[in-house]
Structure 1
Amino acid sequence: MFKNIISKQLYLLSYLIRWTLISIPVSVAIGSMVALFLWLLNWAIHFRFAHTWLLYLLPVAGVIIHLLYKLYGQSAERGNNLIIDEIHQPGAGVPKRMAPLILVTTVITHLFGGSAGREGTAVQIGGSIANLFGSWFKLNEADKKIILTAGVAAGFGAVFGTPLTGTIFALEVIAIGRIQYNALLPCLIAGLVGDVTVSAWGVHHTLYHIDVTDVSGQFYGKHLPVSFLLLAKVLIASALFGLTSMAFAKAVHQVKSIALKVIRINWLIPVCGGIIIILLTFLLGKPDYLGLGVDAGYPNAITIVSSFHQGGADFFSWLWKLIYTSVTLGTGFKGGEVTPLFYIGSTLGNTLAGILNAPVSLFAALGFIAVFAGATNTPLACTLMGIELFGGEYALFFAVACFTAYFFSGEGGIYAAQRVAAAKTDDNYLKKIFSKYRP
């Protein structure tokens, strides 16, 4: 028995050392590439702020992106879905060209005013570089799945400065209702090293803040750690966050489907998308819904940061950002969905706080993570994101918001390749309940 225990511990030690040695160089490479991407993205956004006329060239930028993927993209066009499929069942692999191609095309999208994010780019950078290292290290099929998952963790953790969120997101996003625990250690190492690498390059992340809010309550004169009234407001808002997640996912898919059916010439699809974005901006009379939505292009612009303050968002800011991003991504421009989801969620939280007479910064934070949780079906990762970004004081509300939004967002999401390992609800039980009321 003693020999068996020693043998098992030595095996675990060798496993730890092996994956540490594999994960560190992969994560340093991914973190360095993400740091370069974030630097270029920041330059592109502020250059557009200083040269607003660039928006008029958005249709031309769309044609350039289309041609780049037509000439060099091949399977890389599938983006995050290709990486998820490769983790499920390794096939042709993730092409090396995916990382530089998505980096360049995302920067082009933002330089000319497209409404997109950065998570998709970071995940694709992570998957592409991880796959390259996997071939260099001559990993077998099972290990390639793990290194690809770790690449996702490194990319996500590095781009947002949330290593724990990146770890759980990579494990949770692959399949709804199942977590791949054998990749937990490599993902944790990758998420941490990727984030540290970005910081080492001097790239910093946006800081968000929740104003101090008393969440305690009273019940028949007894003090309670949580106010039932505030909790009820959080539940109502979170259900709406989940429905908004579902609306966003369906809107992006619908724009793609309609564009392919209506516009027969493929390169005209991004041209039409760019023209729609330009017309919407003229209609609204302000550029607030272009680009990433984090930095302000002018004083009093509506951004994610401003949404944490009273009056920091218009009533329908969340809807306009949803439309802008659906058109941008649905017509072939590149970037991620997550930062726009942050914007949609935080501005919707700002609006709902006014309607429900609730703390604005708290509800903006809840929307920030909950809409993301619903759209990606990753409530655990998003709860951790709330803790990493806003602190642990409101962890209970983060969990309630993310899991409620997760259930109200339906079975689908923004990733078509995401599989359903376990349904969100017991369908058989529900069928029995509703069958009683059928005529």
Structure 2
Amino acid sequence: MQKKDYIIQLLKYIIMAIVVGIIVGTIDALFGRVLIAISEFRTIHYQYLLPFLPIAGLVITAMYYVFSKLSLKGMKLIFEVGQQKTDAIPLLLIPLVMIGTWLTHLFGGSAGREGVAVQIGATLSHALGRKLNFPENGRIMLVIGMAAGFGGLFQTPLSATFFAIEVIVIGKMDYEALLPALASAYIAAFTSHSLGLEKFSVAIKNTINLTGTKTIISVIILGILFGLTGRLFSFSLSKLKVFMGETIMNQYLRIGVMAIPLAALLFIIHGSRYSGLGTNIISAGFAGQTIYSYDWLLKLLFTIFTLAIGFQGGEVTPLFSIGTSLGVILGGLLGLPPMLCAALGYAAVFGSATNTLIAPIMIGLEVFGGADMVLFVIVCVIAYGVNGNISIYAQEKI
């Protein structure tokens, strides 16, 4: 391709990125603000809502079967399009995944939200690309949409950009999409913030110097344990989804029956502490409030079970919760500042589970500031290495 043609094509993608960023940022604001309101309502009235979690599961499944069964593939469908295995993402996926996730959270399922935002962004950008005849590289349009979805919801455009270009294919950075993805992520973040969606950020006051042997060893241990935790989450989620699908093939039966013990346990154990996103645990970790030694493990197990039986939502915010609570506990055991370790866990467990490296480092920068960037780089690199190419997004491939 000649330089002139390349510049023209790049400008076209940037224009599309701006359009996608505005639209996806607007949808993210709606989705995020409703989800916050739902979560606050459930926290107050969980004893009346959790018993109906199995019924909510049946309603979610029925919605997909009636309106767009193909959309049940969710993120799998996005990766299939990115790998050119298929070229169809139904626009109905957008309202279905939004409503399905709202219902999951309203009735107390343990799930995240980023998968929803990424699916919304990718679906919309893919549809616009096809409508406006962007045949040159459909994957770039997907990356633009994924970055916008993540960036608009979390308002971390740098991490959103690298998340999108790292995660679409394992072991390969799609640098061709870097500039348009960055533009869409920033526009989406600005749009959603302008519409009232707030960014989560924490100022870390305590830090450590990597001068003593004991401190260096402790930081290495953190990276290893965070990496193993992300690997455990990804491996267990993948295996349990397969097991549930093969053991209870009827999806109505699977979600309706298995949600009964899920709801009961969520109700009994600390009164819905492990329902929803896990932002309550994140807030507790950074506010110096009570964090139980088993918080990270129970949040991990409840989230895996919720998603494996068919409820809608994402994994990233629960991963932030798991990393935060584990970091607080490990900080106390290793003699390191618990809040700093919580921040490192927040980023590194996410990076390990998603098999991304630069994205979690950028999360550290955008959420916690740049004062401890060296620590974030070291811990995230170790966690990434320990992961061994296992990802929550099983459809990625080299």
TM-score, L = length of structure 2: 0.95
CA distance in 2 between counterparts of 1:258 and 1:179 reads: 32
Identify which of 51, 59, 62 aligns with 2:45: 51
Aligned with residue 162 of structure 1, among 141, 156, 160: 156
Q: What residue in structure 2 maps to residue 390 of structure 1?
A: 368
Distance across 2 between alignment mates of 1:133 and 1:20: 13
Question: For 1:2-27, what per-residue CA distance to the aligned partner results, in whole angstroms no more than 9, with x for missing partners?
Answer: xxxxx976555434432222211111
Structure 1 equivalent of residue 250 of structure 2: 265
Unaligned runs of 5+ in 2: none
Asked if residue 186 in structure 1 is aligned to residue 171 in structure 2, the reply is: no
Tell me if 1:371 matches 2:349.
Answer: yes
Name which of 83, 87, 94 aligns with 1:88: 83
Alpha-carbon distance in structure 1 between the residues aligned to 2:258 and 2:161: 35
1:240 corresponds to which of 195, 204, 225: 225
Q: Superposition pairs for residues 240-319 of structure 1, below 5 Å?
A: 240-294=225-279, 303-310=281-288, 312-319=290-297
Deviates further, 329-338 or 66-75: 66-75
Which one-letter code corresponds to 1:46 in the other structure?
A: E
Match of 1:433 in 2: none
Q: Which moved more, 1:326-335 or 1:395-404?
A: 395-404
Measured in 2, the distance between the counterparts of 1:172 and 1:406 equals 12
Give CA-to-partner distance per residue, 1:108-156, whole Å, 9 cap, x none.
100000100011000000011101111221111x332211111001101
Q: Hey, what's the Cα distance between the residues in 1 that align with 2:83 and 2:63?
A: 28
Q: What CA deviation, in whole Å up to 9, does each residue of 1:251-309 have, x standing for no partner?
A: 22232223233334321211233212222134423221111121xxxxxxx51021124
Correspondence for 1:221: none
- For residue 318 of structure 2, the aligned residue among 319, 337, 340 is 340
Q: Which of 118, 127, 133 is matched with 1:132 structurally?
A: 127
**CA-CA distance at 1:229 after TM superposition:** 3.0
Q: What are the equivalent positions in structure 2 for 1:95-174 lying under 5 Å apart? A: 95-140=90-135, 142-174=136-168
Partner of 2:23: 29
Q: Residues 148-171 of structure 1, C-alpha deviation per residue, up to 9 Å, x if partnerless? A: 111001101111110011111111
Supply the distance in 2 between the matched residues of 1:133 and 1:9 (Cα, whole angstroms). 25
Instruction: Among all aligned residue pairs of Structure 1 and Structure 2, give the percentage whose two residues are the same amino acid.
Output: 37
SS state of the match for residue 203, structure 1?
coil
Post-superposition shift, 1:333? 0.2
1:21-78 residue CA offsets vs partner (Å, 9 max, x unmatched): 2211111111111111001101111121232211110000000011111122322111
Task: Find the structure with the greater CA-based Rg.
Answer: 1
Rounded Cα–Cα distance in structure 1 between residues aligned with 2:249 and 2:166: 37
Q: Is the 8 A contact 2:201 2:366 kept in 1?
A: no
Name the counterpart of 1:350: 328
Structure 1, unpaired ranges of 5+: 1-6, 218-226, 295-301, 421-439
Give the secondary-structure state (helix, strand or coil) at the position aligned to 2:281.
Answer: coil
3-state SS of the aligned residue for 2:392? coil
Q: What letter matches 2:395 in structure 1?
A: A
Matches of 1:264 and 1:394, distance apart in 2: 48
* Alpha carbons 1:120, 1:336 under 8 Å: kept: yes
Aligned equivalents of 2:215, 2:324: Cα separation in 1: 18
Deviates more, 1:399-408 or 1:201-210: 201-210
Instruction: Report the alpha carbon displacement of residue 342 of structure 1 after superposing the two structures with TM.
Output: 0.5
Any conservation in 2 of the 1:310–1:350 contact (CA below 8 Å)?
no
d(CA) in 2 for partners of 1:256, 1:169: 24
Question: Does residue 203 of structure 1 match 2:188?
Answer: no
SS in 2 for 1:191: helix
Q: Is the 8 A contact 1:158 1:191 kept in 2?
A: yes
2:15 and 2:80 mapped to 1: Cα distance?
26
Alpha-carbon RMSD: 1.8
Alignment correspondent of 1:229: 214
Partner AA of 2:326 in structure 1: L
Distance in structure 2 (CA, Å) of the matches to 1:198 and 1:135 = 25
Aligned-pair CA distance for 1:93: 2.2
Tell me, in whole angstroms, the C-alpha distance in 2 between the residues paired with 1:406 and 1:25.
Answer: 34
Q: Partner residue of 1:40?
A: 34
Equivalent-residue separation in structure 2 for 1:209 and 1:323 (angstroms) = 29
SS at structure 1 position matched to 2:68: helix
Matched, 1:413 2:381: no
Output the CA distance in 2 between the equivalents of 1:72 and 1:406: 39
Q: Does the residue aligned with 1:128 lie in a helix, a strand or coil?
A: helix
Larger fraction in helix:
2
Return the alpha-carbon distance in structure 2 between the equivalents of residues 324 and 110 of structure 1. Answer: 13
Structure-2 change in CA distance of 1:74 and 1:355 (3 Å): same
Q: Tell me the SS of whatever aligns to 1:393.
A: coil
Aligned in 2, Cα 1:232/1:11: closer, same or farther, shift over 3 Å? same
**Given residue 271 of structure 1, which amino acid in structure 2 is its aligned partner?**
G
**2:338 alignment partner AA:** V
Distance in 2, Cα, partners of 1:176 & 1:126: 20
Compute the displacement of 1:91 (Å): 2.5
Provide the TM-score with structure 1 as the length reference. Answer: 0.86
Name the residue aligned to 2:169: 175
Deviation at 1:409, TM superposition (A): 1.6
